[in-house]
């Protein structure tokens, strides 16, 4: 069974993230969306809310699991017995950063990273921008997956 983790802060989970998961499902049997807990990041949504929103979005898909973690990403991958890490790339800067991390992860744990380039129409979408729009009470519906519930 081919199992991957898709790690990130996902604050919030955007249509770009959704696209990466959907595309990765074409060659993975299971994907664990791993929500990293990073005390140094100021998040808009608490970790429990992010887990709930993403879990609800994928509730009918048994190939998707949603978990949070508070350790190195490679340690999380090993805990859930994933052989791969899936990452989305929007820019050259993203690529350079992800390439370095992928090399380290392969050396430390033998885990391969699969980089998926963002679809051109989604390159402008980032959690940072969506968070800023939320802060100013703007409508973000076009930037999050259809069916994702932001409020209770």
Q: How far apart are CA 147 and CA 104, in angstroms?
A: 36
In a domain? residue 147: no
Non-local CB neighbours of 113 within 8 Å, separated by 6+ positions: 84, 85, 86, 87, 98, 101, 102, 105, 106
The H or E element that residue 66 is part of is: strand 64-69
Per-residue pLDDT, 152? 53
Per-residue pLDDT, 70? 95
In a domain? residue 72: yes
In a domain? residue 73: yes
Percent of the chain with pLDDT over 70: 99
Is the pLDDT at 151 greater than 80? The verdict is no
| Tokens read off for 84 | 């791969």
Q: Which of 15-29, 68-82, 138-152 has the lowest mean pLDDT?
A: 138-152
3-state SS assignment for residue 125: coil
Domain that holds residue 104: 3-136
Q: Which residues are annotated as a binding site for substrate?
A: 9, 41, 73, 87
Q: How far apart are CA 4 and CA 2, in angstroms?
A: 7
Q: Which residues are annotated as a binding site?
A: 9-10, 17, 41, 73, 87-90, 98, 122-128
Give the predicted TM-score (pTM) of the model. 0.94
Q: Which residues are annotated as a binding site for ATP?
A: 9-10, 17, 88-90, 98, 122-128
Is the pLDDT at 115 greater than 90? The verdict is yes
Q: Residue 60 is part of a domain; what is its CATH number? A: 3.40.50.620
| Tokens read off for 1 | 């069974």
In a domain? residue 151: no
In a domain? residue 141: no
Q: What is the pLDDT of residues 54-83, one digit of tens each?
A: 999 999 999 999 999 999 999 999 999 999
In a domain? residue 124: yes
Provide the number of structural domains found in the chain. 1
């Amino acid at each position: 069974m081919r199992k991957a983790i898709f790690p990130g802060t996902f604050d919030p989970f955007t249509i770009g993230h959704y696209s990466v998961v959907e595309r990765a499902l074409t060659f993975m049997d299971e994907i664990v969306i791993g929500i990293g807990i990073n005390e140094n990041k100021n998040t808009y949504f608490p970790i429990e809310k992010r887990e709930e929103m993403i879990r609800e979005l994928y509730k009918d898909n048994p190939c998707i699991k949603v978990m949070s973690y508070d350790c190195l990403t490679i340690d999380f991958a090993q805990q859930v017995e994933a052989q791969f890490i899936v990452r989305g790339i929007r820019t050259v800067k993203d690529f350079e950063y992800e390439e370095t991390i992928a090399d380290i992860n392969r050396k430390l744990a033998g885990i391969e990273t699969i980089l998926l380039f963002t679809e051109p129409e989604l390159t402008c979408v980032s959690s940072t921008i969506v968070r800023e729009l939320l802060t100013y009470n703007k409508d973000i519906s076009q930037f999050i997956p259809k069916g994702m519930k932001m409020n209770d």
